[in-house]
Each structure stands twice: as structure tokens, then as C-alpha cells.
Amino acid sequence: MIVLVVLGALLVLALLAVVHWYLWRRLVRDVSVPGGRWRRAGTVLAVVLPLLSVGALVGGRLFPMAVERWFAWPGFLWLPVLLYLLIALGVGELLRPVLLRLPARRAEPAAVAVATVARAPQAAEAVPAPEADGPSAPAAPSPERRLFVARAIALGASGAAAAVVGTGTYGVLRGPRLKHVTVPLAKLPARAHGYRIAVVSDIHLGPILGRAHTQRIVDTINAAQPDLITIVGDLVDGTVPELGRDAEPLARLRARDGAFFVTGNHEYFSGAAPWVDFVRELGVHPLQNARVELGGFDLAGINDIAGEREGDGPDFGKALGDRDRDRTAVLLSHQPVTIHDAVRHGVDLQLSGHTHGGQLWPGNYLAELANPTVAGLERYGDTQLYVTRGAGAWGPPVRVGAPSDITIVTLASLRA
């Protein structure tokens, strides 16, 4: 097992090295003068940035949170920049042959000047005259033209990546927006028609998102005045001593029927039991394979699948086994993959998170491979599954194509 882990780590490092060599070639070597400032600075960045990203990814296991924060911001932010640089440069590779064959314009003075200086020795070499006989071959692009195209592609790719990541970062730091979904339930009594549940998941308090992020979420939920608040896992990426203060604003959550919490997989990475005790002290009620009866339905919650490694996994029998099946059942389960067990136990509505909606496009396509539903409302037999994209972000504080949300789920009775 250890050998496989080491081999996997070496493979990842080798891939990072190849990718950064390619970036260095296209964004530094191909567009700069040998020995120039940008060549030197770009070479340093091509080494330092991947090291910071590795430090951000493993820092939580090696360093205290105060030290991890120094790696987290630059290291995690570089990962989405890297992703979108590669995508943009891939488009640039397709366009490069076309751009090289376009008629040259006079407005290439910078490229011409630099190329002339950089390639002066080569310019002095004799160039054989073309053969007089036979059809003339198309002229190869000049060095000046190649430099101009390389710089245009590098500038365009860098600008596109910066714009995408900047917008995605702003969306996360601004805080999640409210989303409204109405779910009709056949067994819901008329008196519960219009009942509103605030669903928030994947807050991911950690080295980047902290107390201010929690306060924004609390303010958004309280302003919506829901009847019930549900926190569906992945609240934190760290321990109670490290992040307890950042989670304290949850004590100010307000709803008629209170706030409830179930664990996500990241709670088990950080120590689930202390967090369960801590959120209880904040006035948020943990549902650990348990159920409560509310006015018009049963609210049940199960532990995350990650708890199975600690003998603390989901127990559907304990949470739902002895309930009255004539009553509507709403289940809190962090991961959407438990939907098939929920169907077997007669759950009417499962509320989940975990997927982040993919977080970074095209990550949604990968998320679809591991989850029955990535985001939104879908039906499985007589059970409906709603998956929120979550209110935070794991790793890079960036979302692209998957904006963060807090969802107000309104229950609708067919008897109303």
C-alpha cells in the first residue's frame, strides 16, 4: 500500500513538472529575450508556484493552521489559474497555425525590435536563394511573426485565465446567494403546505474561509426567515481549537423549529466527535442516525459514509426503521449516493450537498461520474433528491460555472 502511495505521489509530481515546463515554454521562453528580466522572473515562478500548491494541499497534515494559511492563498489560487491557462493555451495551439499564416501587419514594432536583438547572430547567416524552377513553396513565418503570435497567444491566455479565476474568487468571497426550490410531496399534510427549509452545505471553514464567511451565511439565512435550518455536512476543514471561533456565528441562526446538523466526509478528516459536541454547544442540533418529529413531517439525519472507517457510518435502520410510513420523511444526508438506501426506506425527500456542483468547470463532468445528481432536484422512484451546490469552496476559493448557494426548499402539499 505504501509503495502504491509513493508511486502515485511521484506520478503526480512528474505530471506537475511536465505541465509547468510547458507553461514555462509558452509563457516565458517563447515570448522573452534570453537573460532578460521576464525570463528570469518567469523561470522562478515556474518553480515556486507548484511548490506552493503542493504545500497548500499537504499543509493541513504537516503544519498548524496559522502556518498553513501562508501556503493556502497563493498555492490554492494557482491551481485554478493553472487549469484555465492550460485550457486557454490549448485553444491557442489550435489557433497558432492560422495566426502564423495571416498577412503580417506593420503594427508589430515591439516584436520586431526584440526579435531583431534576440536573433541578431542568426540574421547574419546567409540564406540560400530559392530555386528558380518548380512551384514556389509557401514562405515560412518570419521569426518576428512567430514572436508576435507567441506573445498574442500568451497575453490572451493569461488574461482569460485571470478574468475567469478573478470572477470565480469574487463569487466565493462575496458569499452565497439564495436559491428557491418548491418540492411537492404527496403525503405532506395541508397544514405544512409552504413550510420553508433553509439548506446549507459545504461551508468549508478553513485556512481561507473563516468567521466573516460564516457571518455572511448566517445573515443570509436569517434574512430569509425560514421555518427550519439544515446544515448538511462539510462545515469545516480543521479542528475545533483551530476553527471553533470561526464557527461561532452559527449560534445566531434563527428559525421557528431550530437548526440541525449532519456530518460530512470532511468532519471525519478533522475529528467528527468534537465538532458534533461543539455545534451542539452553539445551539445547532446534531442528527446522528436519528430522527425528530416536526409538525407536518419527520426530519431524519444520518452520519456520513466516511464515518464507516471509524465505526460511525450511516445507519438507516436506526434513523428511519421504526417510523410511521404514513408521515412524510425528509432525510439529511451529506452525500447524494445514499439516495438508493433512502428509496428503500421510504424517504420522501433527501437533502444533500458534497458535490459543489463541480465547483470548477469542467469538474461537473467528473462529479457526474461519482454522484447520481450533481446539483438540483431529481426524482428516484417515489423519493426526490435535492442537491445544493454548497455555500463555500474546498481548496481554491474559486467557483466557475457552479455558483455557491443557500437554498430555501419550500414544501408543497398536494392536499392543500
CB atoms within 10 A of CB 408: 19
With a CB cutoff of 8 Å and minimum separation 6, the contacts of 127 are none
Reported confidence tier of residue 264, pLDDT bands at 50, 70, 90: very high
Q: For 375-416, what is each residue's pLDDT tens digit?
A: 999 999 999 999 999 999 999 999 999 999 999 999 999 987
Q: 509530481: which residue's cell?
A: 13
Predicted pLDDT of residue 107: 44
Do the Cβ atoms of 397 and 391 come closer than 8 Å? no
Residue 111 is predicted with a pLDDT of: 45
Q: What would the pLDDT profile of 333-391 be if each residue is shown by its tens digit?
A: 999 999 999 999 999 999 999 999 999 999 999 999 999 999 999 999 999 999 999 99
The per-residue pLDDT for 141 is 80
The model's pLDDT over 213-243, given as tens digits with 9 standing for 90+, comes to: 999 999 999 999 999 999 999 999 999 999 9
**pTM of this structure:** 0.88
Q: Residues 59-65: what's their mean pLDDT?
A: 77
Give me the pLDDT at residue 361, please: 96
Q: Give 81-138 pLDDT, tens digit per residue.
A: 999 999 999 999 999 999 998 876 554 554 444 444 444 444 444 445 445 455 555 6
The model's pLDDT over 272-320, given as tens digits with 9 standing for 90+, comes to 999 999 999 999 999 999 999 998 999 999 999 999 999 999 999 999 9
Across the chain, mean pLDDT equals: 90
CA atoms of 231 and 245, how far apart (whole Å): 18
The CA distance from 258 to 178, in Å, is 19
**Per-residue pLDDT for 49 more than 90?**
yes
Predicted pLDDT of residue 119: 46
> What pLDDT, in 10s, does the model give residues 139-172?
788 889 999 999 999 999 999 999 999 999 999 9
Residues 9-24: tens digit of each pLDDT: 788 889 999 999 999 9
Taking alpha carbons only, the member of 58, 56, 95 closest to residue 77 is 56
Query: Which is nearest to 200 in space by CA: 232, 226, 171, 176?
Result: 232
pLDDT in tens, 173-207: 999 999 999 999 999 999 999 999 999 999 999 99
Query: What does the pLDDT average to over 239-268?
Result: 97
